[in-house]
Amino acid sequence: MKNDFILKGNICYSETMDRLWVAEQQYVICVDGKSAGVFSEIPEKYQGLPVKDCGDALIVPGMVDLHAHAPQYAFRGLGMDLELLEWLNTHTFPEEAKYASEVYAKRAYTMYVEELKKSDVTRAVIFATMHVEGTKILMELLEDSGLSAYVGKVNMDRNGGKDLEEKSAEKSLEETKRWLAETDGRFQHVRPILTPRFIPSCTDELMRGLAELQKEKKLPVQSHLSENPGEIAWVKELCPNVSNYSEAYEQFGLFGGDCPTIMAHCIWMEEDEIEKMKNNQVYVAHCPQSNMNLSSGIAPVRRFLSEGIPTGLGSDMAAGYSTSIFRAMADAIQCSKMRWRLVDDTQKPLTVEEAFYLGTKGGGAFFGKVGSFEEGYEFDALILDDSNIAHPQKLTVRDRLERMIYLSDDRHITEKYVSGRKVK
C-alpha cells in the first residue's frame, strides 16, 4: 500500500558524526517508506503528495536503542544500590524467572511495549529471557506496535541459579532452534538475534553450538562485554585459555567480522581489544545511565569514535531506568565529561552533535540505512513540539534541539513514524 507524504517543519539530522544538518521550514519527503531527501521547495515530481505542515515543530530521525532488556522493565528504578553481579542475582534473575509464565510475560511485556511506543525510540535491539513462549509474545507485541526491532531469546546454561538456567547446552540450543523455527517468516518488522547472555552464563559447548547456528542462519549476535571489574575477573577464571574478555567470544567466531555483533558496555577495554573491535567492526552499545547506576565505570567512547568503531546508545533497561534515548544522549555527554576530567584528559568530551549522531545514525547503522533523512534512509521520524518549554529569548533551531535532548519527555513527541508507518 502506497503511503507517500511530505512533512514540513524544522528538520534536523546528522550528516556525519560532527555535522548536524538543520533545515528550517523545509520539506522532508517520504516515498515507499524511505526518505527521498530534504528540500527547500517541493520538487516537481512530488508536487501531488499530501503535505503535513508541522508549524514550528522540530522533525528529527527516530531514535535507536541498541541495548535493552524487556523483562527488566518491570523493576525499573529499583535496586540501583548494587553492582552488576549482586544486582543480577538479587533483582534480575528472580524477575526474569517469572517469564516462564506466559500470562506474566504478556502482562509485563505489554507494559514495556506500550511505553516504548510512546517514547522517542523507533528501533530497538532487545533481550527477552531464556523462555521461548515469552520471547514469542514479546515479538508479537512489538510487531503489532509498528516499531522495528531485533529480539533475542537469551541463552544461559550456567550460573543462573535453579530457576533461570537451561538444563544443558544441548537443551538451550534445541530451544533456540525451536524459537527460530516457530517465528520464521511470521514478522515484518521484528527479527531474531542470537543472544548468549554473557560469558559467565554460557558454557563452551553452548557457545560452539551458537556459532554453528550463526553461520548456518547468518544471524546477528548480541551480548555483554567488560562491564564490571568483578565480572571481568570471573571471565578470566572461567576462560583461562584466552588473554582477555573479547577473545572469550572471538574464539568461537562470535565477535564481528562475518557475524554482525553488538557488545553492550565495553568499559574496561585493553588496547588489543579495541584494535579487534575496529578490525571486526563490532558495534558498541554505550549505556551511560546503566554504567552510572551500577557503578560500572565510564566507557572510552571518544576512543571508539576516533578509531572508527561503530557505536550507538543503549538504555540497558533496567540497569538504566529510562527508555529515552534523548536521556541517553545527555547521559553520554555528562559521562564523557567525567572521563575527561577524572580519567584521561587527552580524550575530549562528546559534543551535542556527536551524542545526537550516536542515538540516531550511529546505532541506526546496525539496521541498515537508518537514523538520517538523507535520500534512501528509512523514513523513521519524530515530530517534536517544544512550545511548552518556556524561554524569554530567541533560540535557534539547533539550540532548541539541544534543549530537547536535556528537557524533553514523551509528551513532546506528537507524532512518530517508522519506515513511513505512523505509529504514534
Binding site for Zn ion (CB under 5 A): 264, 316
Q: What is the spatial distance between Cα 40 and Cα 27, in angstroms, rounded to a whole number?
A: 6
Shortest approach of Zn ion to residue 325 CB, angstroms?
15
Residue 316 or 331 with smaller CB distance to Zn ion: 316
> Which CB atom, from 36 or from 164, has the smaller least distance to Zn ion?
164
CB of residue 316 to Zn ion, shortest distance in Å: 5
Cell numbers linked to 256: 564481528
Residue 385, CA distances (Å) to 115, 395, 410 in order: 19, 14, 10
CB of 41 to Zn ion, least distance (A): 46
Dist CA 1 CA 7 (whole Å): 19
- Start-to-end CA distance of the chain, whole Å, equals 19
Q: Whole-number minimum distance, CB 293 to Zn ion, in Å?
A: 12
For residues 105 and 262, which CB has a smaller minimum distance to Zn ion in the complex?
Answer: 262
CB of 418: closest distance to Zn ion in angstroms? Answer: 23
Q: 154-155 and 195-196 as β-strands: parallel, antiparallel, unpaired?
A: parallel
115: which 3 cell numbers? Answer: 511505553
Closest CA to 5 of 33, 38, 24: 33
* Smallest distance, Zn ion to C-beta of residue 381, A: 28
Which C-beta is closer to Zn ion: that of 166 or that of 316?
A: 316
Q: Which of 321, 346, 341 is nearest to 331 (CA)?
A: 321
C-beta of 283 vs 417, nearer to Zn ion: 283
Cβ-contact 61, 30 below 8 angstroms: no
d(CA 396, CA 56): 12
Tell me how far, at minimum, the Cβ of 173 lies from Zn ion, in Å: 22
User: Within 10 A of 271 (CB to CB), how many other CB atoms are there?
Assistant: 9
Q: With b meaning 16 or more CB within 10 Å and e meaning fewer, what string describes 391-419?
A: eeeeeebeebbbebbeebeeebbebbbbb
Q: With respect to Zn ion, which residue has the nearer C-beta, 127 or 252?
A: 127
Nearer to Zn ion, 156 or 264 (CB): 264
Beta bridge partners of 264: 224, 285
